[in-house]
A and B are shown apart, each in its own frame.
Chain A
Amino acid sequence: MPHADDVLFRTLADPTRRALFERLCREGEKTVGALTARARVSQPAVSKHLGVLKQAGLVRDRHEGRQTHYSAQLGALAPLIDWTSRMAGFWQGRFDQLEDLLKRMDQ
C-alpha cells in the first residue's frame, strides 16, 4: 500500500475534519468563513483542518482577493472505495462459510 493511503485514512478518521470534507462534497466550493459559520470549532481550527485535508489531497484551495476558497477533490477517495471492495470480498467469503456451517449444524 502506498504511503498516501495511510495519510488519507488518518486524515478522514477525525470526525470534525471528515464533516468539513463531506460538507465540501455536498455543497461545493466554500470559503473558510462560510465553513466556520456552521462548524462547532473556531476559524483557526477550521483552517488547520483544511490544511491537513489539503496535504492529503482531499481539498484544493483557490485564492481570490483576500479570500481562499476550498473545494473537495473526490478523486482522492479512490482508496476508500478500494477498502470497501476489499471488505465486501472478505464478508462475502465469511457469509459462504456461515452458510456451510449452518448446513452442518443440528437444528
Chain B
Amino acid sequence: MTNTATEALSVVVERDIPFPPEKIWRALTQPHLIEEWLMKNDFNPVVGYRFSLRGDWGAADCQVMALEPHKTLSYTWGAFGLESLITWTLTPTSTGTHLRMEHSGFRPDQQQAYQGAKYGWKKFFASLERVVGGLP
C-alpha cells in the first residue's frame, strides 16, 4: 500500500459528455442551473467570490479559487470543519467534452482545516449518507 493520507482523501470522476464545453460551463456556473443538478447556491463566477451550497443536510461555505471560462473552475468546499477543494476541468473532444472533477479532502496548503468543536465529522458523514442516499 503506497497511498498517503492525501491521496486516500481524493475523489476523481471523469466522463465523456456529448455536449460542447460552452454548454457544460453554463450548467457549472449559472446558479439556477447549478441548483438543478447540485444544490441551491448563490454562485458567481468571479475569483475570490464567496458563496454557499445549501443542501438539506446543511451548507457548504465555498470560495472561487480559479476560473478560466469553458476550461477550468475550482472552488473550496468547506463543510463540517473540513475545507476541501473541487476542481472541474473541461476538455473539448471530437464528440463533445471530457469532463473531469477532482474533490480533494486535504489541501497541502491549507492552514487550520479543522475548526474545533464547531462541527463534527460524524455529522458530516451522517449527512453525507443522507445526501448519497437520495436527495433529489
Q: What is the interface size of chain B, counting residues whose CB is below 8 A from a CB of the partner?
A: 44
Interface SS of B by simple majority: mixed
- Cα distance, A58 to B134, chains bound together (Å): 33
Q: Would you call the interface of chain A mostly helix, strand, loop, or mixed?
A: helix
With a cutoff of 8 Å between Cβ atoms, the chain B residues found around residue A92 in the complex are 13
Is B27 in the interface zone, CB < 8 Å from A?
A: yes
B67 at the interface (CB under 8 A from A): no
Query: Contact at B8–A84, with CB atoms within 8 Å?
Result: yes
B41 to chain A, nearest CB (A): 13
Q: Which residues of A contact B38 (CB under 8 A)?
A: 94, 97-98
B27 touches A77 (CB 8 A): no
The distance from the CB of A50 to the nearest CB of chain B, in whole angstroms, is 15
Asked whether A12 lies within 8 Å of B5 as measured between CB atoms, the reply is: yes
Q: Complex formed: what's the CA distance from A105 to B114 in Å?
A: 39
- Interface-lining segment among A20-28, A31-39, A40-48, A63-71: A20-28
What is the count of residue pairs linking A and B with beta-carbon distances less than 8 angstroms? 114
Q: Are A101 and B37 in contact (CB under 8 A)?
A: yes
Within 8 Å by CB of A18, from B6, B15, B131, lies B6
Give which listed residue, A5, A74, A107, contacts B125 with CB less than 8 A: A5
Q: Tell me the bound Cα distance from A13 to B3 in angstroms.
A: 16
Cα A3 to Cα B121 with chains together (Å)? 9
Q: Is A15 a contact partner of B110 (Cβ separation < 8 A)?
A: yes
Question: Are B5 and A21 in contact (CB-based, < 8 A)?
Answer: yes
A62 interface residue, CB < 8 Å from B? no
What are 26 A-B pairs with beta-carbon distances under 8 A? A6-B120, A12-B5, A12-B106, A14-B114, A18-B5, A74-B3, A77-B5, A77-B8, A83-B125, A87-B11, A87-B103, A88-B11, A90-B128, A90-B131, A91-B13, A91-B103, A94-B38, A95-B13, A97-B36, A97-B37, A98-B38, A99-B15, A101-B27, A101-B36, A102-B17, A105-B27
